[in-house]
Structure formats: C-alpha cells, structure tokens
C-alpha cells in the first residue's frame, strides 16, 4: 500500500518535471527579453544624444557662417563709413573702456607717486590689484576665448 502511494507520488512528480522545465525556459526567455529591451533603450538613448550633439555642431557651424557672412556683407555694401562704424561697435566700445581704464590707472599712479610720495615699486601693486587682473582676463576671454569655452562646455 505504501509502495503504491509512493509510486503514485513519484509518477505525479515525474509528470510535473517537463512543466517545471517549461516554466524555467519561459522565465529565462522573459528575462532575456527584458535585458534586450533595456539594451535597446540604452542604445536609443545614446543614439539620441549623439544626434543632439550633431545638431548642436551643425547649429554652431551655421551660426559661425552667418556671422562671417554678416561681417563680410557689411564690408562689401556701399556707404563705407557707416558700414565700417556698424562693424566696429564692439571694438570701439572695448578701446574706449580700455583707454578710460588706462587713464584712471595712470592718474592713480601719478597721485600715489608724485602727490603721496610713494615709490613706483610700492604703488604698482596698489594700482594693479586683483580687480584689475580680473578686468584684463575678462577682456581677453571675451575676445579670444569664446570658441574655447564652447569646446570646454561640451
């Protein structure tokens, strides 16, 4: 009787083994599909980021071409003086502020050396301080650093 019962349980368990293998196969298939979906999503994200970088690079190129085209169109149009003046607004503003800055620092040097009696070596660090260095670095960065900053930003 016990042998019959054990035989029945063994037969029942043996009949369930193929279904267990099928369930494990389905689980592995679903796991593989989830991994493939994740990989496809990551690939799409990377592809999208590369496309955005390409679009930004094309926009930078188009902007640079438009700036050069605008500058050359100003120079080639008739009306020389006015067009030259329109094309030189930023340099004129920069030169004006630079001359104002030099005049201010020159007057300060004059006041410290001739009116206060300081030595030039003592007066120079007072005149050319951290704020002066910041102004000069700002001017240099404005005129020469815009392209480098765009590359650094990326």
Rg over CA atoms, the chain: 38
pLDDT at 81 over 80: no
Give the angle 94-100-101 at the CA atoms, nearest 5°.
85
Taking the alpha carbons at both ends of the chain, their separation in whole angstroms is: 80
Give alpha helix (H) positions in 77-129.
80-87, 89-110, 120-127
Query: Which residues, including other chains, have CB under 8 Å from residue 119's CB and lie 6 or more apart?
Result: 113
Question: Residue 61 and residue 51: Cα distance in Å, rounded?
Answer: 15
pLDDT at 83 over 70: no
12-52 pLDDT, tens per residue?
666 667 777 778 788 888 899 999 999 999 999 999 999 99
């Amino acid at each position: 009787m016990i042998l019959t019962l054990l035989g029945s349980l063994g037969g029942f368990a043996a009949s369930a083994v193929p279904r267990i293998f099928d369930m494990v196969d389905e689980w592995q298939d679903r796991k593989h599909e989830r991994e493939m979906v994740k990989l496809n999503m990551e690939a799409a994200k990377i592809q999208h980021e590369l496309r955005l970088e390409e679009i930004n690079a094309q926009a930078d190129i188009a902007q640079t071409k438009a700036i050069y085209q605008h500058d050359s169109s100003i120079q080639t149009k008739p009306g020389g003086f006015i067009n030259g003046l329109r094309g030189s607004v930023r340099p004129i503003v920069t030169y004006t502020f630079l001359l104002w800055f030099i005049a201010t620092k020159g007057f300060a040097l004059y006041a410290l050396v001739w009116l206060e009696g300081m030595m030039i070596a003592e007066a120079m660090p007072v005149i050319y301080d951290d704020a002066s260095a910041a102004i000069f670095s700002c001017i240099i960065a404005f005129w020469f650093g815009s392209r480098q900053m765009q590359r650094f930003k990326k």
